[in-house]
Each structure stands twice: as structure tokens, then as C-alpha cells.
């Protein structure tokens, strides 16, 4: 069993557990198997967008995201990480339709809501632009690795460890950026 975790120096931690063995049958049909999750993720994402806008306004006044909104958005980020990891062959088991912590091979640990500077909250969408550019580049790399990983898994029945680790590292950055955008943390996503 392998487990990859980012150091606890960031308030959002991505962990990937499980082994590298992959079922050739589920790998072959991965694009079809992930469709129900993508539909659910899309609907939840629309609700999360509205929730984050409300949370942004409230956070401007309170200086922090209220706990119920923080939990809801953290669950969305956690679930989206599981769906992406499944689609990109980072993790093999079919993920649960849940954003609960500890309910999957891929998990995102988010620290509780904390005070943030109001100026940082106000300009968050502008401040995240450099990270957004990197995320788009990382998604191209992830997609390329996922395609190569698909062929590797079809021939060997397991995921290549380097491919899994690189995809997990790039996913970690995307998860941290999502946490930054959704005001789960005031810490900018980190590359190292």
C-alpha cells in the first residue's frame, strides 16, 4: 500500500492511499464509469459557486468564512479531488458520492476556518490568476499522463508509481488553489 501526503505546512493536505494495482476492465471503461460522478460534480459545483459567492460577501464582513459554509465547500473540494483522481487513474476504487473526510482512498484534509485579511478576501479572484494559469498547464500534463497511464495499466495491470506521484502532486496544487479560491485558507497554493 502506498500513501502520498503533502507536508502539514499547508492548511490543505492531499493524501493518496491504496496500491498501484488496477483492474484492466475498470481502467478500460474508466471514461464511462466516471460519468455519473462528473454529472454529480457539475451540479454540486454550481451550488458551490453560489455558496462561495455568498461566503465571499459574508467573509468580507466577518473576516472569515462561517463554519457551515467552510464545511460545505471543503466537502466539495474533497469530492472533486476524488473524482479527478479516479478519472486520472491516480486511485483505482470507485469513489464514494460523498465529500466526507476519510471516506476514500484519496482524501483532502482541510484545517478549520480561520481569520483572513479582508483585503485578501476582497481581491481573491485577482490574486488567484497566476495559479489559474498554472492549473491549466498542469491539467494538460495530467491528461497526458492519464492517457499514457491508461495504456500502461492496460498492459501491466498496475499504475506506474512515477506517473501516479506526478499526477498526485499536480492535483495537490489544484486542490490547494481551489481551497484558496473558496476561502478555505488564506495560504496561496505551493509548488514544492
For the question of whether the overall pTM of this predicted structure is more than 0.75, the answer is yes
DSSP 1-48: ---EE--TTSSEEEEE-S-SB--HHHHHTHHHHTHHHHHHHHHHHHHH
Asked if the structure places residue 63 within a domain, the reply is yes
The chain-wide mean pLDDT, for the chain, equals: 92
Domain that holds residue 175: 4-181
List the beta bridge partners of residue 5. 15
Asked if the structure places residue 186 within a domain, the reply is no
Asked if the structure places residue 131 within a domain, the reply is yes
Asked if the structure places residue 188 within a domain, the reply is no
**Which ranges in the chain belong to alpha helices (H)?**
24-28, 30-33, 35-62, 67-87, 118-122, 124-127, 129-156, 161-181
Asked if the structure places residue 190 within a domain, the reply is no
Q: What is the pLDDT of residues 122-173, one digit of tens each?
A: 999 999 999 999 999 999 999 999 999 999 999 999 999 999 999 999 999 9
Asked if the structure places residue 189 within a domain, the reply is no
Most confident segment among 2-11, 15-24, 171-180 = 171-180
Asked if the structure places residue 191 within a domain, the reply is no
Number of structural domains found in the chain: 1
* 8 Å CB contact between 166 and 145: yes
Asked if the structure places residue 162 within a domain, the reply is yes
Of 139, 140, 122, nearest to 177 by C-alpha is 139
Q: What is the pLDDT of residues 14-48, one digit of tens each?
A: 999 888 889 999 999 999 999 999 999 999 999 99
Question: For the chain, what's the residue count?
Answer: 192
Q: What is the C-alpha to C-alpha distance for residues 34 and 90, in angstroms, rounded to an integer?
A: 13
Amino acid at each position: 500500500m502506498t500513501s502520498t501526503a503533502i507536508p502539514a505546512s499547508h492548511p490543505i493536505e492531499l493524501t493518496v492511499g491504496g496500491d498501484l494495482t488496477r483492474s484492466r476492465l475498470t481502467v478500460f471503461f474508466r471514461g464511462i464509469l466516471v460519468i455519473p460522478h462528473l454529472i454529480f460534480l457539475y451540479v454540486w459545483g454550481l451550488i458551490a459557486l453560489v455558496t462561495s459567492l455568498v461566503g465571499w460577501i459574508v467573509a468580507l464582513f466577518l473576516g472569515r468564512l462561517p463554519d457551515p459554509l467552510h464545511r460545505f465547500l471543503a466537502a466539495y473540494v474533497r469530492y472533486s479531488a476524488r473524482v479527478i483522481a479516479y478519472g486520472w487513474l491516480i486511485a483505482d476504487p470507485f469513489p464514494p458520492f460523498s465529500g466526507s473526510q476519510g471516506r476514500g482512498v484519496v482524501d483532502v484534509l482541510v484545517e478549520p476556518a480561520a481569520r483572513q485579511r479582508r483585503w485578501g478576501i476582497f481581491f481573491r479572484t485577482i490574486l488567484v490568476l497566476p495559479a489559474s494559469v498554472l492549473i491549466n498547464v498542469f491539467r494538460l500534463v495530467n491528461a497526458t499522463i492519464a492517457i499514457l497511464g491508461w495504456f500502461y495499466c492496460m498492459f501491466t495491470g498496475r499504475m506506474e508509481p512515477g506517473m501516479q506521484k506526478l499526477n498526485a502532486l499536480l492535483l495537490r496544487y489544484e486542490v490547494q488553489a481551489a481551497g484558496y479560491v473558496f476561502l478555505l485558507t488564506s495560504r496561496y497554493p505551493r509548488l514544492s
